[in-house]
Amino acid sequence: MSETVRPNPLRWLLYAYGTGLPARHKEWVLHDVTTPSWRWRHFARATVQLLPIAVLLYVFIPGEPWVRAMAVLGGLLIGYFYSFAYMYESAEHRAVKAGYPQGGAAAIRDEAHADERREQEERYAARWRQDG
């Protein structure tokens, strides 16, 4: 992969909220959704999306601080649950918005782990597919 152009912090913030990046960031977007740390990057984007809402809810929900904290924690758990439930689709959508074909990011991630998957399949076959 050639040198990628990283977005500035403001562009990254907008990217975290779902806006597309200019074409010069195309390779960086692919790197973002295919690097070995892509799940952590997704977690960072989800946190940036959820944190302002969590703070506002904590500040404006009436009641005891522990009640507000538990309400916000429950909301964060639900938000993270849905974010991670659609993590693969979200990463793929970001790659498509950057101009890559549908399924391209997943194929790159799968290719990076092809040897591991092949070893797992061989162990499975050796254990469970014995001719008997």
| CA pair distance 41, 91, nearest whole angstrom | 10
pLDDT at 19: 93
pLDDT, tens digit, 9 for 90 and up, residues 86-106: 999 999 999 999 999 999 999
What pTM was estimated for this model as a whole?
Answer: 0.83
Residues comprising the chain, all counted: 132
Place of tokens 């779902």: 18
| CA pair distance 26, 105, nearest whole angstrom | 12
Spell out, as residue ranges, where the chain has pLDDT lower than 50.
Answer: 1
